[in-house]
RNA sequence: GCCGGGGUGAUGGAACUGGUAGACGUGCCGGACUCAAAAUCCGGUGCCAGAGAUGGCGUGAGGGUUCGAGUCCCUCCCCCGGCACCA
């Protein structure tokens, strides 16, 4: 056996062994439970980053652990291969996104393989390949048939210089990232998926997911946002070209119908017909509507921006009081959300309150809470309280509580035919059209005579040409005659193909079911899918807690309703790993755009005020420090693990990553512990080599005493803790248990009894480490003669017999402060323990001659004397 | 702004249902080996006072419940994730 730890050799050998024995090929095995372990597939951005290493090591640890515990496992891998970074790379390097993507996949696959992951590579997927995305298109057509997919207008960010649609990420402070031009809102047609048709089930089925973290379920429930409210109308006779606008009714929705008597104005979106009407004759309104075109479409921006508005001069009628109510245009009212208009009750809504104060609009109290005094000077929390309030200044509704008021008011509105109760969802339908090249083509043909015609199934897939090079000025498909020109499937006349592609969330909404299938060319999924699904353990970043997971749940339910699969929920258990964070550095370009720099190109310093400043190593020019954030391709703050793997080996990288922090916790990147992880593996190897030289010893482990007995107890105690932590995925303390074991073994004596315990302990330690550092465990298991394959060995369990002790040490406290400890026999009763405690010198000193008021004994742990 | 999570030594983190705060690492200090360094090994290391025994303080800040609080409750501060076209 080699005396020095040589990760290069043992890792290559172990990996060869797994690939030759097809150790991780997923097959149905009778009599064994299945375990489908899935890590979120990576976007092929070029190189793995530490977040990937973390994610895939967690998945591999769980896969190998389950394999050793008798499961038949499936752990697949693939590529979320469509997306924006490929187009950005094309703009920068003039390389087609397809070539860039395939090159990245080849490189990253090598990296993944060098980590020694137990992946069934025969099930690899790349979403940019026609044999995969064909089924995106096919299912989209089924959704069109069922009315789940439909067309309507959508609001997008428009860069007027590049003449292109921008992603939210490409808008920096209201300007295009490349051009620095002021971004405009534009309304264009696009396809939507009716996820709201499934809102009720998506909400209710969260209860069917006990294996999901509560925090993720809470976020999803809040996102779906079921609310019970009232939709009602303000009648008016505002006419445009002689006809009443919207039949003379201004509809709004509110969850606070109980405050309806406090309405002092209504606010409509800039795109609302009433605003458009007012703009025709009122310059101020027209100017404001124009200004609103530059308001961000992002919710975070809308929520934090200054609320502004302008009076249209128009009036509508309050449906209950008959009073005339002014109509304002507000920049915070969104046309695409609800009715595009809201009733404003400044007295009981914080946003309306601020708006009314700003424009000196009346504030009318209509809710009272006992013992509280209302004042229009300043907003107070209780103004918005619907639990404890009753109506006031509200005529016949005075004295009613929230629910009574809503019920009565809804009934009155209904009687007037001006409204009714309505359940509303915060969740909006899913807009999937992207005005981009590098995505799955939407299978639609536009015909001058027949309109938008679905591509017939037998013409699928609509294949995306792979040789385009986007230049930042719109979708290059517009210039591709061979893609664009086709014949109408209905009438046979010349027609044009749709050039929009699908949101990449479509690709990732069902890949897990394709992995699990038999990869048929004539079916999206098959019977094998139902065998492996649902995923037993899904692992991925917490940043996907809402969108990706919600879309996947929705897509699964649509597939179920099409009888393609038989499960309601795709992911039985979810582990949301925390982000790996690193520093972010950027700098404004001359055009007003933004450029990022990798942390290793930058030197960080602190100024006198303790603020972090930074400059480029290359030329010393100053760059802006943007704080710390998730490792991402676009911000260039990822750390490539390759250098680590090359220098220390995959086992060190895996061990370090698992040891650094528990999986769910965010992790600020620092490589200072890598050496320590490597040192541990070197010590393990050296200890193994030494033990191989000394040789084994037979000794009855049931008849140990002294050192050997204590050593064995220590090992089994650490094993008990490790198994407990393994089950709750706290791998950092599993590693520390393994380190404790090795520390204990290194200190142990060389007599026969000790060596027999070491023999047992090493076999435990190697099996325990095998999921985390599989290569070294594989090599030592064979070298020390425990067997051919540690993966085939049984998972170790602590033995009760090894854990018993004759004497216990109890902590002594006086008034909750630790003052010493006592040793008692394991069989001592409460009275004996109390007596021993009170007799203790330190306790006597604290009691100072007095008698204890009370003595609390926590069995096996401590005694607290209350003085 | 809203929703979700987090804050513990110099540092990554541990502490099971409220029961010895700082496990296991890193770093640092001292020692051994060495001509020397690296590597390796041994010992120490929360802060303050003290020669020491020991005492006091200590889990973002402030308050509360309890024999006992990092853990439970209230108020506040800071950081991270998501907010629908980054993936």
pLDDT single digits (tens) A482-504: 999 999 999 999 999 999 999 99
Higher pLDDT, A276 or A836: A276
Res A606 pLDDT > 70: no
- pLDDT value at residue A381: 79
Q: Which residues on neighbouring strands pair with residue A344, listed in sequence order? A: A265
For residue A521, how many C-alpha atoms fall within 13 Å in the half-sphere facing its CB? 4
ipTM field: 0.95
- Three-state DSSP class for residue A116: coil
Q: What is the mean pLDDT of residues A311-327?
A: 95
How far is Cα A23 from Cα A19, in angstroms, rounded to an integer?
Answer: 7
Work out if A733's Cβ lies within 7 angstroms of strand B. Answer: yes
- pLDDT value at residue A845: 78
Q: Give the residue among A547, A511, A544, A548 at the shortest CA–CA distance from A529.
A: A511
CB < 8 Å & 24+ apart, contacts of A351-356: A351/A307, A353/A379, A353/A383, A354/A307, A354/A379, A355/A267, A355/A307, A355/A309, A355/A330, A356/A264, A356/A265
Distance A341 CA to B52 C1' (A): 78
Res A256 pLDDT > 70: yes
Expressed in percent and rounded to 5, the helix, strand and coil fractions of chain A are 40, 20, 35
Work out if A739's Cβ lies within 7 angstroms of strand B. Answer: yes
How far is Cα A140 from Cα A194, in angstroms, rounded to an integer?
Answer: 11
How far is Cα A621 from Cα A716, in angstroms, rounded to an integer?
Answer: 57
pLDDT tens sequence across A650-666: 999 999 999 999 999 98
How far is Cα A800 from Cα A717, in angstroms, rounded to an integer?
Answer: 10
Work out if A435's Cβ lies within 7 angstroms of strand B. Answer: yes
- pLDDT value at residue A782: 96
Distance A844 CA to B4 C1' (A): 51
Res A849 pLDDT > 80: no
Res A425 pLDDT > 70: yes
Work out if A372's Cβ lies within 7 angstroms of strand B. Answer: no
* A433 nearest nucleotide via C1' and CA: B85
Work out if A867's Cβ lies within 7 angstroms of strand B. Answer: no
pLDDT band at A302 (very low <50, low <70, confident <90, very high): confident
Which alpha helices (H) appear in A649-773, and where do they start and end? 650-660, 674-694, 706-727, 731-747, 752-769
Q: Quick one: A652 exposed, middle or buried, by C-beta within 10 A (0-12, 13-18, 19+)? A: buried
Distance A644 CA to B8 C1' (A): 29
Res A58 pLDDT > 90: yes
Distance A725 CA to B31 C1' (A): 37
Which residues numbered 798-817 in chain A sit less than 7 A from strand B, measured from CB? 809, 811, 813, 815-817
- pLDDT value at residue A611: 63
Work out if A197's Cβ lies within 7 angstroms of strand B. Answer: no
Q: Which nucleotides of B are covered by protein (CB under 7 A)?
A: 1-6, 11-16, 19-21, 23-27, 39-42, 55-56, 67-69, 79-87
- pLDDT value at residue A609: 54
* A818 nearest nucleotide via C1' and CA: B20
Which residues numbered 262-321 in chain A sit less than 7 A from strand B, measured from CB? 297-300, 303-304
In the structure encoding, which two tokens stand for residue A69, read together?
């515990």
Res A379 pLDDT > 60: yes
Distance A862 CA to B49 C1' (A): 29
Which residues numbered 229-268 in chain A sit less than 7 A from strand B, measured from CB? none
Q: What is the mean pLDDT of chain A?
A: 91
Work out if A545's Cβ lies within 7 angstroms of strand B. Answer: yes
Distance A622 CA to B77 C1' (A): 31
pLDDT tens sequence across A792-837: 999 999 998 888 887 888 888 888 888 888 888 878 888 888 888 8
> What share of chain A in percent tops pLDDT 70?
99
b/e per residue, A410-441, with b = 16+ CB within 10 A? bebbeeeebbebeebbebebbbbbbbbbbbbb
* A214 nearest nucleotide via C1' and CA: B4
In the structure encoding, which two tokens stand for residue A233, read together?
């109308």
Work out if A788's Cβ lies within 7 angstroms of strand B. Answer: no
Distance A679 CA to B37 C1' (A): 20
Which residues numbered 311-370 in chain A sit less than 7 A from strand B, measured from CB? none
Alpha-carbon Rg for chain A in angstroms:
34
Res A93 pLDDT > 80: yes
- pLDDT value at residue A610: 55
Work out if A740's Cβ lies within 7 angstroms of strand B. Answer: yes
How far is Cα A6 from Cα A3, in angstroms, rounded to an integer?
Answer: 9
Q: What is the mean pLDDT of residues A539-568?
A: 96
Work out if A662's Cβ lies within 7 angstroms of strand B. Answer: yes
How far is Cα A657 from Cα A731, in angstroms, rounded to an integer?
Answer: 9
Distance A439 CA to B21 C1' (A): 53
Residue with CA nearest to B82's C1' atom: A543
In the structure encoding, which two tokens stand for residue A212, read together?
């999901």
- pLDDT value at residue A637: 84
- How many residues make up chain A in this entry? 867
- pLDDT value at residue A370: 80
Distance A412 CA to B5 C1' (A): 44
- pLDDT value at residue A466: 95
Distance A720 CA to B2 C1' (A): 43
What is the pTM for the complete model shown? Answer: 0.94
- pLDDT value at residue A859: 82
Work out if A508's Cβ lies within 7 angstroms of strand B. Answer: yes
How far is Cα A645 from Cα A418, in angstroms, rounded to an integer?
Answer: 69
Distance A745 CA to B71 C1' (A): 34
Q: In whole angstroms, how far apart are CA A505 and each of A80, A335, A466, A511, A552?
A: 9, 25, 20, 10, 8
- pLDDT value at residue A309: 93
Work out if A576's Cβ lies within 7 angstroms of strand B. Answer: no
Q: What is the mean pLDDT of residues A13-32?
A: 94
How far is Cα A212 from Cα A215, in angstroms, rounded to an integer?
Answer: 8
Which alpha helices (H) appear in A320-447, and where do they start and end? 350-358, 402-415
How far is Cα A184 from Cα A313, in angstroms, rounded to an integer?
Answer: 27
Q: Give the residue among A643, A630, A466 at the shortest CA–CA distance from A540.
A: A630
Work out if A650's Cβ lies within 7 angstroms of strand B. Answer: no
* A83 nearest nucleotide via C1' and CA: B87
Residue with CA nearest to B2's C1' atom: A303
Distance A53 CA to B85 C1' (A): 28
Higher pLDDT, A125 or A815: A125
Distance A582 CA to B15 C1' (A): 28
- pLDDT value at residue A608: 55
Segment (H or E) for A528: helix A527-532
Q: What is the mean pLDDT of residues A102-125?
A: 96
Q: Which residues on neighbouring strands pair with residue A814, listed in sequence order? A: A817, A865
Higher pLDDT, A675 or A381: A675
A395: which residues sit within 8 A by CB, 6+ positions away?
A261, A321
């Amino acid at each position: 056996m080699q005396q020095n730890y040589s990760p290069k050799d043992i890792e290559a050998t172990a990996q060869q062994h797994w690939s030759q024995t097809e150790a991780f090929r997923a097959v149905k095995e009778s009599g064994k439970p299945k375990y489908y372990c899935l890590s979120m597939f990576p976007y092929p951005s070029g190189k793995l980053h530490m977040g990937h290493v973390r994610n895939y090591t967690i998945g591999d640890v769980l896969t190998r652990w389950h394999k050793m515990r008798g499961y038949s496992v499936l752990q697949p891998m693939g590529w979320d291969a469509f997306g924006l970074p490929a187009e950005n790379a094309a703009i920068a390097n003039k390389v087609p996104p397809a070539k860039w993507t395939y090159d990245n996949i080849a490189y990253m696959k090598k990296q993944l393989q060098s980590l020694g992951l137990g992946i069934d590579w025969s099930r690899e997927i790349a979403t940019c390949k026609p044999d995969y995305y064909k089924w995106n298109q096919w299912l989209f057509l089924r959704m069109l048939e069922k009315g789940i997919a439909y067309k309507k207008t959508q609001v997008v960010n428009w860069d007027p210089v590049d003449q292109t649609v921008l992603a939210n990420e490409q808008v920096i402070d209201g300007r295009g990232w490349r051009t620095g031009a002021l971004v405009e809102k534009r309304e264009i047609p696009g396809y939507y998926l009716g996820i709201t048709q499934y809102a009720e089930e998506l909400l209710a089925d969260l209860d069917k997911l006990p294996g999901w973290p509560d925090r993720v379920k809470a976020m999803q429930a809040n996102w779906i946002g079921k609310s019970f409210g009232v939709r009602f109308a303000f009648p008016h006779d505002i006419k445009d070209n002689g006809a009443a606008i919207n039949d003379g009714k201004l509809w709004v929705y509110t969850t606070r119908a109980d405050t309806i008597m406090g309405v002092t104005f209504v606010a409509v979106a800039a795109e609302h017909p009433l605003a458009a009407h007012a703009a025709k004759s009122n310059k101020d309104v027209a100017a404001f509507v124009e200004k609103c075109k530059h308001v961000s479409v992002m919710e975070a921006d809308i929520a934090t921006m200054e609320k502004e508005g302008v009076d249209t001069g128009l009036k509508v009628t309050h449906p209950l009081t008959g009073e005339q109510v002014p109509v304002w245009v507000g920049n915070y009212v969104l046309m695409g959300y609800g009715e595009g208009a809201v009733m404003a009750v400044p007295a009981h809504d914080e946003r309306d309150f601020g708006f009314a104060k700003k424009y000196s609009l009346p504030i009318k109290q209509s809710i009272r809470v006992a013992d509280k005094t209302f004042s229009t000077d300043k907003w107070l929390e209780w103004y918005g309280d619907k639990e404890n309030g009753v109506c006031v200044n509200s005529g016949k509704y005075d004295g009613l509580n929230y629910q009574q008021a809503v019920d009565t008011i809804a009934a009155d509105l209904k009687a007037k035919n001006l409204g009714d109760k309505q359940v509303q969802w915060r969740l909006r339908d899913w807009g999937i059209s992207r005005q981009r090249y590098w995505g799955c083509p939407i299978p639609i043909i536009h015909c001058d005579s027949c309109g938008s015609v679905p591509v017939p199934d037998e013409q699928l897939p609509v294949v995306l040409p792979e040789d385009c090079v986007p230049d930042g000025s719109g979708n290059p498909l517009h210039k591709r005659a061979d893609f664009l020109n086709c014949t109408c499937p209905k009438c046979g006349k010349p027609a044009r193909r749709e050039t929009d592609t699908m949101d990449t969330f479509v690709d990732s909404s069902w890949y897990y079911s394709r992995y699990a299938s038999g990869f048929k060319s004539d079916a999206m999924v098959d019977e094998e899918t139902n065998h492996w699904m649902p995923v037993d353990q899904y692992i991925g970043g917490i940043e996907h807690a809402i969108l990706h997971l919600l879309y996947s749940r929705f897509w699964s339910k649509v597939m179920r309703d099409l009888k393609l699969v038989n499960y309601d929920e795709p992911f039985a258990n979810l582990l949301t790993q925390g982000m790996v964070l690193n520093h972010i550095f950027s700098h404004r370009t001359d055009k007003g755009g933004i450029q990022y720099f990798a942390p290793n190109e930058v030197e960080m310093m602190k100024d006198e005020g303790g603020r972090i400043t930074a400059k480029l190593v290359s030329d010393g020019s100053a760059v802006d420090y943007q704080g710390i954030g998730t490792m991402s391709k676009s911000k260039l703050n990822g750390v490539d693990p390759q250098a680590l793997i090359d220098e220390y080996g995959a086992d060190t990288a895996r061990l370090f990553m698992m040891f650094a922090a528990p999986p769910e916790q965010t992790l600020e990147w620092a490589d200072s512990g890598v050496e320590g992880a490597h040192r541990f593996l070197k010590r393990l190897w050296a200890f193994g080599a030494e033990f191989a030289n000394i040789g084994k010893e037979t000794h009855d482990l049931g008849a140990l005493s002294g050192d050997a007995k204590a050593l064995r107890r220590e090992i089994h105690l650490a094993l008990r803790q490790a198994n407990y932590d393994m089950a709750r995925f706290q791998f950092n303390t599993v590693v520390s248990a393994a380190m404790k074991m090795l520390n204990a073994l290194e200190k142990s004596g060389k007599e026969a009894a000790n060596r027999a315990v070491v023999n047992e302990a090493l076999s435990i330690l190697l099996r325990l480490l095998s999921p985390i550092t599989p290569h070294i465990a594989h090599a030592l298991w064979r070298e020390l003669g425990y067997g051919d394959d540690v993966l085939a060995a049984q998972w170790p369990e602590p033995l009760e017999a090894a854990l018993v002790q004759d004497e216990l040490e109890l902590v002594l406290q006086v008034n909750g402060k630790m003052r010493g400890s006592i040793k008692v026999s394991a069989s001592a009763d409460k009275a004996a323990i109390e007596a021993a405690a009170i007799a203790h010198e330190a306790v006597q000193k604290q009691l100072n001659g007095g008698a204890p008021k009370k003595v609390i004994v926590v069995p096996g742990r401590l005694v607290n004397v209350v003085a």
